[in-house]
Amino acid sequence: MTDNNKIYWLNNLKSFMVFLVVVFHAGVTYDKVSMYSTFWIVSDPLNNDYLGILLFILDIFVMYTFFFVSGFLVPLSLKNKTYKKFITLKFKRLIIPWSIAVLTLIPLYKIIYLYSRNMPQEDWTTYFHWNSIWNQSWLWFLPVLFLFNIIYLIFSKIDTSKIELSKFLFFVLILGMIYLLVVRYFNLSTWTTSAILTFQNKRIFIFFLAFLVGSQTFKLNTFKSDIRNKKIEMICHIIGWIAITIYSGVEIYNLTIPGDSLLSKSIDILINRASFLLSLSYLVYSMIIIFKHYLNSKSKIWDELNRNSYGIYIIHFIIMGIIALGLKDIEMPAIIKFLTLTVSTFFTSYLIVYSYKKLNKKIK
């Protein structure tokens, strides 16, 4: 954001979410019960029982926070632009980097994947995302975000500035609840994959709702004031942690005793979906509160991270795979490997992006 707006925290929050993505992906490498283990880039025999808890919490809110921030910025991005210029800007920002990445980084993914398992390399045509079991992997976010921007553009003439945020949030939560129940009823909780769009069916609409909430907070100028309502914050903390506790309890129960019900199948589903929506809302809200009131500052470190976080997101997965491959045969506790992999992946990715930009600037 600009100096006049002084919303440095928003960019800082976005960069921190990129770091948490690295944390999540590094954690999966050493998570004992990870559902991703069969197709993860590197399979390390060492694991840690407690990483699953961290991954469980991060999985609730990290990507939703990304979409919230993106939604907040989209009205500003659209301001004083023609539709054509807006689409061109988003295409250059999202689709061109995605196109380059899926045609270069996904093949590298498979090379590392096979090498880490001592498996022979295969025919070159099988290395592209439309022929891979992991499809676009972490790059799915970019074309989905582009689609959300286009949908927003289509309906941008609708004036929602007179709808209070509380009413808007209530409406969004109801819509989200209905969607999750429909997805569960028709058993649609799988992934949709294609050459361009890849997304998890049960989450795609919730991501879009987070995007809309972000745009609505911008329209209402929600973050202009620094006045805090401690009573409201306390109520949110209480409700939020109750929701997280319930959601965690139901999920753990379903994992440990599959097919059984706490109360009844339908009631369990209602509780699970409602507690999930409240949990993600609370965790996104908590991130906003923390960064708005405690990390709304400009510094050289934050400036550097903010400038390079997008590039870090794009390349980090392959960097992580290479480093994880080097750590695989080293004897050390899994938790130390996890911390080493997280920190080294993030800073190596940063150095590569930073060096590339410096070199590109010199050439130009």
Q: Provide, rounded to the nearest whole percent, the portion of the chain with pLDDT above 90.
A: 77
Residue 3 reports pLDDT greater than 70:
no
pLDDT score, position 1: 43
Which tens digit of pLDDT belongs to each residue from 97-126? 999 999 999 999 999 999 999 999 999 889
pLDDT, residue 50, reads: 87
Give 333-353 pLDDT, tens digit per residue. Answer: 999 999 999 999 999 999 999
- What would the pLDDT profile of 13-62 be if each residue is shown by its tens digit? 999 999 999 999 999 999 876 667 778 999 888 888 889 899 999 999 99
End-to-end Cα spacing for the chain: 26
Supply the DSSP symbol for 120: P
Residues listed for the chain: 364
Sign of the dihedral through C-alpha 204, 208, 213, 218:
positive
Q: How far is it, in rounded angstroms, from Cα 364 to Cα 362?
A: 5
Task: Report d(CA 311, CA 362) in Å as an integer.
Answer: 18
- What local confidence, expressed as pLDDT, does residue 318 receive? 98
Distance (Å, rounded) from C-alpha 311 to C-alpha 34? 27
Global pTM value: 0.94
**Dist CA 48 CA 30 (whole Å):** 6
Contact 319, 109 (CB under 8 A): no
How would you classify the pairing of strands 191-193 and 198-200?
antiparallel
* pLDDT tens digits, one per residue of 224-277: 888 888 899 999 999 999 999 999 999 888 877 877 888 888 898 999 999 999
Q: Which residues contact 286 (CB under 8 A, 6 or more apart)?
A: 237, 240
